[in-house]
Amino acid sequence: MFQKIANVLSIISFVMVASMSGGTYFAYKYVTSEQFKSRVMNEILDNVSGMMPKVLDQNLPKVTGQSMPIIK
């Protein structure tokens, strides 16, 4: 009886390890792919471009002073 339980647990353990290894492999392949890189880059650029006009409007002065004198 103990032998059957040990065999079942061994099979379950093997299936779990195999599925975790396969999942890790495919996750690594996806994360290192160009598709993932372009998706993340597009999302970041969309977020940053949405914030930029607001930040620039708040921090740019309306009037500037004279330019720096050039010493001859």
What pLDDT is recorded for position 19? 97
What pLDDT is recorded for position 16? 98
**pLDDT, one tens digit for every residue, the chain (72 residues):** 999 999 999 999 999 999 999 999 999 999 999 999 999 999 998 888 777 766 666 666 666 777 777 777
Cα–Cα dist 6/29, whole Å: 35
What number of CA atoms fall less than 13 Å from residue 33's CA on the CB side?
10
What pLDDT is recorded for position 71? 78
Cα–Cα dist 9/16, whole Å: 10
What pLDDT is recorded for position 15? 97
End-to-end Cα, the chain, rounded Å: 99
Q: From the CA atom positions of the chain, what is the Rg in Å?
A: 29
